[in-house]
Structure 1
Amino acid sequence: MKLQQNISILLLIVSFTIQAQQNPAREKFVNELMAKMTLDEKIGQLNLPTSGDITTGQANSSNIAKKIEEGKVGGLFNIKSVQKIKEVQKIAIEKSRLKIPLLFGMDVIHGYETTFPIPLGLSSSWNMDLIKRSAQIAAQEASADGINWTFSPMVDISREPRWGRVSEGSGEDPYLGSQIAKAMVQGYQGDDLSKNNTILSCVKHFALYGAPEAGREYNTVDMSRIRMYNDYFPPYKAAVDAGVSSVMASFNEIDGIPATCNKWLMTDVLRKQWGFKGFVVTDYTAIPEMSEHGIGDLQTVSALALKAGIEMDMVGEGFLTTLKKSLDEGKVTLTEINNAVKLILNAKYDLGLFQDPYKYCDLNRAKTEIFTKSNRAEARKIASESMVLLKNKNQLLPLKKSGTIALIGPLADAKENMAGTWSVATKQENSISLLAGMKSVVGTSAKILYAKGSNLDDDAALEERGTMFGKTLHRDSRTKEELLNEALKIAIHSDVIVAALGESAELSGECSSRTNLEIPQTQKELLQALLKTGKPVVLVLFNGRPLVLNQENDTVPAILDVWFAGSEAGLAIADVLFGDENPSGKLTITFPRSLGQVPIYYNHKNTGRPLGNKDGVFEKFKSNYIDERNEPLFPFGYGLSYTTFEYSNLKISSTKISTSQTLKVTVDVVNTGNFDGKEVVQLYIRDLVGSVTRPVRELKGFQKIAIKKGEKQTVTFQITEEDLKFYNSDLQFVAEPGQFEIFVGSNSNAELKTLFELGQ
């Protein structure tokens, strides 16, 4: 045993020589610290329990305190408030032998107490500056409250709207997802982790978590490696390239091996191919859950996880309870344990915790930097840019701030739901409902009448599942008829009806898979009854995923998708409804016509028998449905404005470029409507002939521009060989010579196009 330890220490020194050259001070400090650590203390650094029952003033008597004193805890998560965190950190610093500080993590997913739109909504802004800014504000507030590590961004590509966690990602496209991953990591971590307003970022869920079979949470994922590399890996790699400090493993299996013990994924891809230098943490109890996959008992799966490249065990305590035995039995090596410990200590050093364990425990910051007026103002602005105008017949929107407006629906006065799923730090009582927001924005200029109209769903059990974690809709005990009659009474006395309908906050999110993607039937009946009054109706749609909206699109004159817009939701929605803000959001995930089309996404491959017509006409022996059109209801990149934009004069600098040249693409965009507005100009490319089949088109550039009414802007894109590369059947990242089509426009159905050639 002693010989093995000596050899392992020698290998440890050799394996980190390169890193020592990068940060010699850190290397010296961490090596000296590790030389003092016992095996139990090393394994303890790999243990990440939840905070459990810790409350202010009871940290020393909590269940976790003894383990901290014994050096058996590397970090804690889901403990909120600087007072509690300082108490717990004091245990590690004052009572443990080596005084190694703890990491404190939390699911700061789309804001802290100041909450921004759910990530799917945030992505719909297509505004990287605002997305980065939302992460900066989240880091500012979380760090002021003692948090130094967030389990965000979630960058899983998904074309599966049945899967509830589409709400937590950035949609279906790898290019856009990569830009957002980069912006979020930079927002959280800044340019210097030693500053007290930056925190460690953790990209998740590595990998492929967004493609579960049948859209069911935690389910099996199975795909080819060429699809992994081209469609699903890019956002993870973008986060690594942006310097993300940690990675979270996914629950699903890959090639028959759970990600949490998949050495090809965690070592060959993440570390050897991509050069990741940080540490990898499991998801919640993922190590013991591998036994359910049929991989082995707790000792076996814990050893497999460590050997695969996992450094920190979240809640499972498989490392804590079995690694020592596995080391004695030769199932793991001391080098593997040392490598894992080193990476955890490196992260703590980078955060400056060894220099000042209490750098995130400033009570004054907690009092002055959280949920501030300025942060809330920015959240309101960001939320308004996330909303997508899906329909606006006869320019019903924006509404006038006059007359009588009927606000009806179970989501109209539901402030607890405004922040959406995964808003664990939000104080729901501080959120602004749509009713409160509309009243604030119109003041005394218009009269707002309110009625609930219906419950979320006739099924009380479903409503309870969809309103967990304190996000109640205050279910009304009256009959459907009583609720409807009350709504109709105010509707007939109004000039316009705003119907606030859709999902509740927890009807999407983790473990909220759905087999029905329509608005609940009781709400559909309410909406149709409101339409029968003859009054103009605006549907304000709350949702965390694409919904099937055929009936609504056919019958409702105006539809505004507001997602779940955060703590300032009510004010931001009202800003858009009344025209103080012009909607500029664009969909980042396709909305299907029917559930049977799923998965449906814009960058699909062609078949040998593609449907030739674009009018939905059935053709026998072509790739189409016998009972449905092929195309979606709303395509990727789609979104209207209160103004209109006209595209023209698409030009390229050359019809042929070499691999070393840059192609300049320009297009003119004119605001032809009556409002100033913002437009997301999108560029797509199609590789016409490849050694492997290529998508019908791929997003390769976008710019969000502001144009005043009547004005024209010329938008310029630069295309290089890198933009034309893809992974071939040998998983080589190549650009192949040949012809390419360029499409530019307002969504993935862009019609302006031109052709160029990439030479040898």
Structure 2
Amino acid sequence: MKKEELKALLDEMTIEEKVGQTIQLSADFFSDKSEDITGPMNEMAMTEEKKYQVGSVLGVAGANETIELQKSFMEQHRLNIPLLFMADIIHGDHTIFPIPLGLGATWNPELVKETASIAAKEAAAQGLHITFSPMVDLVRDPRWGRVMESTGEDKLLNKRYARAFVEGYQGDDLKQDITKLAACVKHFAGYGAPRGGRDYNSVDLNENTLREHYLPAYQEGIDAGAKLVMTAFNTIDNIPATGNKRLMRDILRKEMGFNGVLISDWGAIGELVPHGVAEDLEQAAKLAMEAGVDIEMMSAAYSEHLVKLVETDSTLKTLLDETVLNILTLKNDLGLFEQPYRGADQAKEEAEIYTEANQQVALKAAEQSLVLLENNGVLPLTKQEKVILTGPMKRSNDLLGAWSWKGDRSKTATLEDVLAAQVPTEQLTIVEEAEIFNGAHSFLVNDVQEADTVIVALGETSEMSGEAASRTNIKLPESQLLLLKELKALNKKVIAVLFNGRPLDLTDVVPLVDGLIEAWFPGTSGAQAVFNLLYGKTSPSGRLSMTFPRSVGQVPIFYNEDSTGRPFTADKGSEKYFSRYIDRANSPLYPFGYGLSYTQFEYSALTLSDTEITNEEAIKLSVTVKNTGERSGTETVQMYARDKAGEVVRPVKELIEFKQVTLESGESQTITFSLSEEQLRYTHSDHTVKSDAGEFLVGIGSNSSLELTHAFRLTK
């Protein structure tokens, strides 16, 4: 449809039909399998007539189901306006990739883009149109359960991944390419900074911090063309985001240039009442409409009250027309008026979902997401080693994570499955944890006394992270720590593999292991990826996109903390009156950007082409990286900088750029970065983004703990 045709369609709609477009229902409302929909219908102020006027449905999947629902719906809609079908396709559809925090550890946006493209292709074949992804919320607190859905704590990395996800989902032309989905950037804004790490809690961010660190990834997703943005559950400036007019209309729409569809999170408009900013759902509906929320997901404010509000308030009538035009435009962008069954194809669904090729990309993504945290000369293993496999996660196919909506655990190989299939029987012994606790020493002496190495699979269940899964204790369960202590007493080499959805406090773990692998929830091909790393078929290249603390008492802990007036440095010794803990080091257990390899990389000859940058002239920074080990490997070369004196307090260091390089044993390569004035800009006290003249420090190395050793000046 052309723009004028959309406007004509809008003019033809009744108020009730317009309001219907703003309402999203779950698939249950249209399911023949639903035993009793009366309660939910009442809760949503829904009637059969109103049900067939809604604009979108979430949670329906399967080509036959979407085609059937679309057909019956359009037959009962006076103007034959098609439905939008939306779903949580977070890190894969049927083929499940590592959780986003794991994908963040790849430091490979192009690979993330490929995973999003595959997810879109699988979902589109089922008739889905929109994914509630990417979640671009910056996160600094591992207590928060939804950290697993984030790509980490750094704005630059999050920006790169935001663009990668959006471009992977949407492609170049949504109307023409029916294998793509519309992307929904979420959660706007600041959802990743809840007080106490507790989900749905209030957020307390000053506006400078919000703009400097949290908004850039949303902006990048919008600039990449994301068709939707989702509101956050939390408050900003003590006003819930979903009813925050300044946040949504002034900042999101006007400043950031978003002109797509703004959708609430589940029930978020209704939650304006318990938040205490609306007396009832009628007032909540008014606040949300004034804030510019186009679609209400699963609460009854619009459904029950918006018709009446619009009939009595001409301003709201104008806002409703703007809202509905946004929704119709999205449907048009997807080509639904010409192809209401867009992409839905049973044959394609059967042929293109969970293919071998897709699983191979899932394997590649899982391999690159694994982070080797410790290796005291025990990895990689050889096929000649006699290995014991134990631990509560050894036989678990719970490797997909909490947001793998269509993932099938029954198709997911366990670590035991993979080892049993690929390690000679005489070299592998599976040991139950109970046997270790109940006479472990005698058991091992009698039956596997010649074993060289113990592989112990540990971690969280998927229910321990994700939405509504915040924790105050981010250590491994006590039973797992006791198991490690028993294994340590056996005088065997101990390699722990961790399956989890957040950075953990591993301080008690490190002394008990010789090797430590962070596997996250690695997805469909995760167990094979772990095997390949254990046995050296791949060399670890994952790097942390989020800091691991020494203790939950350090949280929130992140690498780019603000400079303080009393900074504590190692040379201060035991001096007290500095910004420090008296019972624990300030430093993390594992810093942002950290990860080991099966080889070693040496950095040398860091040089700057000039010591002065101007608004017009960038400088080049070069460093030589040499593989000094015996194996090939991939290194992520990271450049950090510090503004020594800004108009507002600046971080002690910031990631400015990074590059990955694969080097053979003995090979060296000169890596060159360009550094321009634009990369030195930041948010000032008046909220403008610009740079200041003055001195900067820069350093290049393998993680954020590096020293910034070279100086240059920005001259205006």
> Could you tell me which residue of structure 1 aligns to residue 666 of structure 2?
710
> Could you tell me which residue of structure 2 aligns to residue 460 of structure 1?
none
- Give 1:72 deviation, angstroms: 2.4
- Return the alpha-carbon distance in structure 1 between the equivalents of residues 79 and 454 of structure 2: 65
CA gap 1:129/1:446 in 2 versus in 1, 3 angstroms: farther
Matches within 5 A, 1:179-258: 179-194=160-175, 195-258=177-240
CA gap 1:452/1:330 in 2 versus in 1, 3 angstroms: farther
Q: Which moved more, 1:430-439 or 1:512-521?
A: 430-439
* Contact 1:89/1:102 (<8 A) preserved: yes
> Could you tell me which residue of structure 1 aligns to residue 328 of structure 2?
345
* Contact 2:52/2:76 (<8 A) preserved: no
1:314-356 CA-to-partner distances (Å, cap 9, x unmatched) read 0113111111111233285211001010111111101111111
- Give 1:402 deviation, angstroms: 2.4
CA gap 1:228/1:70 in 2 versus in 1, 3 angstroms: closer
1:38 is the counterpart of 2:14: yes
- Return the alpha-carbon distance in structure 2 between the equivalents of residues 589 and 327 of structure 1: 46
Residue 367 (structure 2) aligned to one of 377, 384, 387: 384
1:52 is the counterpart of 2:28: yes
Tell me the secondary structure at the aligned position of residue 433 of structure 2.
Answer: coil
* Contact 1:78/1:105 (<8 A) preserved: yes
Letter in 1 for 2:255: Q
Identity between Structure 1 and Structure 2 (%): 41
Matches within 5 A, 1:522-601: 522-601=479-558
Residue 245 (structure 2) aligned to one of 263, 267, 282: 263
Letter in 2 for 1:591: F
Tell me the secondary structure at the aligned position of residue 510 of structure 1.
Answer: coil
- Give 1:480 deviation, angstroms: 6.2
Matches within 5 A, 1:76-91: 76-91=57-72
Letter in 1 for 2:456: A
Tell me the secondary structure at the aligned position of residue 551 of structure 1.
Answer: coil
* Contact 2:27/2:60 (<8 A) preserved: yes
- Give 1:87 deviation, angstroms: 1.1
1:139-161 CA-to-partner distances (Å, cap 9, x unmatched) read 01011111110000011111111
CA gap 1:336/1:117 in 2 versus in 1, 3 angstroms: same
In the superposition, the TM-score normalised over structure 2's length comes to 0.96
CA gap 1:392/1:91 in 2 versus in 1, 3 angstroms: same
> Could you tell me which residue of structure 1 aligns to residue 468 of structure 2?
511
CA gap 1:492/1:220 in 2 versus in 1, 3 angstroms: farther
> Could you tell me which residue of structure 2 aligns to residue 628 of structure 1?
584
- Return the alpha-carbon distance in structure 2 between the equivalents of residues 213 and 491 of structure 1: 50
- Return the alpha-carbon distance in structure 1 between the equivalents of residues 446 and 186 of structure 2: 49
> Could you tell me which residue of structure 2 aligns to residue 144 of structure 1?
125
* Contact 2:371/2:518 (<8 A) preserved: yes
Letter in 2 for 1:30: L
1:363 is the counterpart of 2:339: no
- Give 1:483 deviation, angstroms: 9.3
1:583-639 CA-to-partner distances (Å, cap 9, x unmatched) read 100001111111111111100012111113169x43211111111111010000000
- Return the alpha-carbon distance in structure 2 between the equivalents of residues 601 and 580 of structure 1: 33
Tell me the secondary structure at the aligned position of residue 700 of structure 1.
Answer: strand
Residue 291 (structure 2) aligned to one of 305, 308, 319: 308
* Contact 1:67/1:73 (<8 A) preserved: no
* Contact 1:491/1:530 (<8 A) preserved: no
- Return the alpha-carbon distance in structure 1 between the equivalents of residues 322 and 614 of structure 2: 45
1:552-611 CA-to-partner distances (Å, cap 9, x unmatched) read 112311101000100111111101111111110000111111111111110001211111
- Return the alpha-carbon distance in structure 1 between the equivalents of residues 340 and 545 of structure 2: 41
* Contact 1:157/1:208 (<8 A) preserved: yes
- Give 1:283 deviation, angstroms: 0.5
> Could you tell me which residue of structure 2 aligns to residue 16 of structure 1?
none
Residue 325 (structure 1) aligned to one of 308, 311, 314: 308
CA gap 1:218/1:331 in 2 versus in 1, 3 angstroms: farther
* Contact 1:56/1:83 (<8 A) preserved: no
CA gap 1:487/1:546 in 2 versus in 1, 3 angstroms: farther
* Contact 2:548/2:591 (<8 A) preserved: yes
Tell me the secondary structure at the aligned position of residue 52 of structure 1.
Answer: helix
Tell me the secondary structure at the aligned position of residue 134 of structure 1.
Answer: helix
Letter in 2 for 1:625: Y
Q: Which moved more, 1:703-712 or 1:723-732?
A: 703-712
- Return the alpha-carbon distance in structure 2 between the equivalents of residues 112 and 239 of structure 1: 21
Tell me the secondary structure at the aligned position of residue 338 of structure 2.
Answer: coil
- Return the alpha-carbon distance in structure 1 between the equivalents of residues 452 and 436 of structure 2: 27
- Return the alpha-carbon distance in structure 1 between the equivalents of residues 607 and 333 of structure 2: 48
- Return the alpha-carbon distance in structure 1 between the equivalents of residues 50 and 347 of structure 2: 28
Tell me the secondary structure at the aligned position of residue 715 of structure 1.
Answer: strand
Tell me the secondary structure at the aligned position of residue 49 of structure 1.
Answer: strand
Letter in 2 for 1:608: G
* Contact 1:450/1:490 (<8 A) preserved: no
> Could you tell me which residue of structure 2 aligns to residue 120 of structure 1?
101
1:645 is the counterpart of 2:601: yes
CA gap 1:330/1:685 in 2 versus in 1, 3 angstroms: same
- Return the alpha-carbon distance in structure 1 between the equivalents of residues 259 and 539 of structure 2: 43
1:286-323 CA-to-partner distances (Å, cap 9, x unmatched) read 11111001112100011100110100000113111111
- Give 1:450 deviation, angstroms: 1.7
1:660-710 CA-to-partner distances (Å, cap 9, x unmatched) read 111211111101111111011001110011111100000010111111111
- Give 1:170 deviation, angstroms: 0.8
Stretches of structure 2 that go unaligned for 5 or more consecutive residues are none
* Contact 2:641/2:708 (<8 A) preserved: no
1:26 is the counterpart of 2:9: no
Tell me the secondary structure at the aligned position of residue 541 of structure 2.
Answer: coil
> Could you tell me which residue of structure 2 aligns to residue 461 of structure 1?
none
- Return the alpha-carbon distance in structure 1 between the equivalents of residues 446 and 89 of structure 2: 43
1:140-194 CA-to-partner distances (Å, cap 9, x unmatched) read 1011111110000011111111111111101111111111101010000011111
* Contact 1:727/1:733 (<8 A) preserved: yes
Root-mean-square deviation (Å)? 2.1
* Contact 1:401/1:445 (<8 A) preserved: no
CA gap 1:660/1:411 in 2 versus in 1, 3 angstroms: same
* Contact 2:611/2:711 (<8 A) preserved: yes
Q: Which moved more, 1:743-752 or 1:536-545?
A: 743-752
1:236-269 CA-to-partner distances (Å, cap 9, x unmatched) read 1110111110000000011011000101111111
- Return the alpha-carbon distance in structure 2 between the equivalents of residues 53 and 44 of structure 1: 14
* Contact 2:640/2:708 (<8 A) preserved: no
* Contact 2:212/2:682 (<8 A) preserved: yes
Residue 280 (structure 1) aligned to one of 262, 270, 273: 262
- Return the alpha-carbon distance in structure 1 between the equivalents of residues 58 and 441 of structure 2: 45
- Give 1:440 deviation, angstroms: 3.2
Residue 728 (structure 1) aligned to one of 670, 680, 684: 684
* Contact 2:484/2:512 (<8 A) preserved: no
- Return the alpha-carbon distance in structure 1 between the equivalents of residues 707 and 629 of structure 2: 20
- Return the alpha-carbon distance in structure 1 between the equivalents of residues 82 and 298 of structure 2: 18
Residue 451 (structure 1) aligned to one of 425, 431, 439: 431
- Give 1:487 deviation, angstroms: 8.1
Figure out how many residues of one structure are paired with residues of the other and give that number.
709
1:754 is the counterpart of 2:710: yes
- Return the alpha-carbon distance in structure 2 between the equivalents of residues 244 and 437 of structure 1: 39
* Contact 2:681/2:692 (<8 A) preserved: yes
1:609 is the counterpart of 2:590: no
> Could you tell me which residue of structure 2 aligns to residue 92 of structure 1?
73
* Contact 2:437/2:486 (<8 A) preserved: no
* Contact 1:451/1:490 (<8 A) preserved: no
